[in-house]
């Protein structure tokens, strides 16, 4: 299963609330009206974020994001057919340009693995979801990063987490990324999605999890770059 993940920022002059309203109530229904070969479409509405580490005042990440879109596909053929369809080019893409700041878009294609089944999402009762965008350490191959990342994650995962999904980046020819405005293959190893019962639980637990993950990374020579990684706190909204 493939997941196309896009972290978006609102256009200049637009409020966060207006952005989310358009994303949810205008853009979402346009996609639901003609799903094409998208297996699942989820929006993550961001309410808080963090970037870098407390030990690194010279942070290197542009982290301001208002939402994260997840589009699930059965395979690469389904992804290519969807992105090349006239409905995407003539309806979905033009609407996206009305509210999303395309030059700042960050998109990556990932292979998804459920490490701990997440709780059901149901409107306002949806669990809190923390998305950790893990920037690969310089000089390491994707396989090395993913192996060390997975091992470290398993060592530091705590009982507070209600679900966990790991999205590992896979190569992409760029067409799907350009749909969201991204031009180049991103230097991120992938995204970890952790689920919690409440905002307070997420904001309390995740920083401790991330510090422990960083310590494990240091012990192995560094598999990711905390200065270029960032974290988004949001609630999941299932469109279809």
Domains of the chain, first to last: 2-238 (3.30.70.100)
Residue 28 in contact with residue 239, Cβ under 8 Å? yes
Buried b (16+ CB within 10 A) or exposed e, 33-48: eeeeebeebbbbbbbe
User: Is the pLDDT assigned to residue 234 strictly greater than 60?
Assistant: yes
Cα angle 233, 234, 240 (rounded to 5 degrees) comes to: 145
User: Is the pLDDT assigned to residue 151 strictly greater than 60?
Assistant: yes
pLDDT, average across residues 89-114: 94
State the pTM of this model.
0.91
pLDDT per residue as tens digits for the range 106-115: 999 999 999 9
Percentage of the residues of the chain whose pLDDT score is greater than 90: 63
pLDDT, average across residues 127-145: 91
pLDDT, average across residues 161-170: 92
């Amino acid at each position: 299963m493939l997941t196309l993940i896009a972290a978006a920022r609102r256009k200049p002059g637009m409020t966060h609330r207006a952005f989310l309203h358009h994303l949810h109530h205008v853009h979402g229904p346009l996609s639901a009206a003609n799903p094409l070969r998208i297996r699942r479409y989820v929006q993550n509405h961001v309410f808080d974020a963090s970037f870098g580490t407390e030990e690194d005042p010279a942070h290197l990440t542009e982290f301001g994001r208002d939402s994260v879109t997840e589009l699930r596909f059965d395979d690469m053929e389904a992804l290519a057919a969807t992105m090349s369809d006239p409905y995407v080019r003539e309806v979905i893409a033009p609407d996206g340009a009305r509210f999303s700041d395309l030059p700042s878009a960050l998109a990556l294609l990932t292979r998804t693995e459920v490490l701990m089944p997440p709780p059901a999402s149901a409107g306002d009762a949806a669990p809190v979801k923390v998305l950790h965008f893990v920037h690969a350490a310089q000089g390491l191959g994707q396989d090395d990063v993913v192996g060390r990342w997975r091992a470290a994650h398993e060592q530091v995962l705590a009982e507070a987490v209600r679900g966990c999904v790991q999205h590992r980046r896979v190569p992409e020819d760029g067409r799907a990324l350009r749909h969201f405005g991204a031009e180049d293959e991103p230097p991120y190893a992938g995204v970890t999605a952790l689920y919690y019962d409440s905002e307070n639980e997420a904001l309390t637990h995740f920083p401790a999890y991330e510090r422990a993950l960083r310590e494990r990374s240091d012990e192995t020579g560094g598999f990711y770059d905390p200065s270029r990684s960032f974290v988004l706190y949001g609630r999941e909204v299932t469109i279809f």
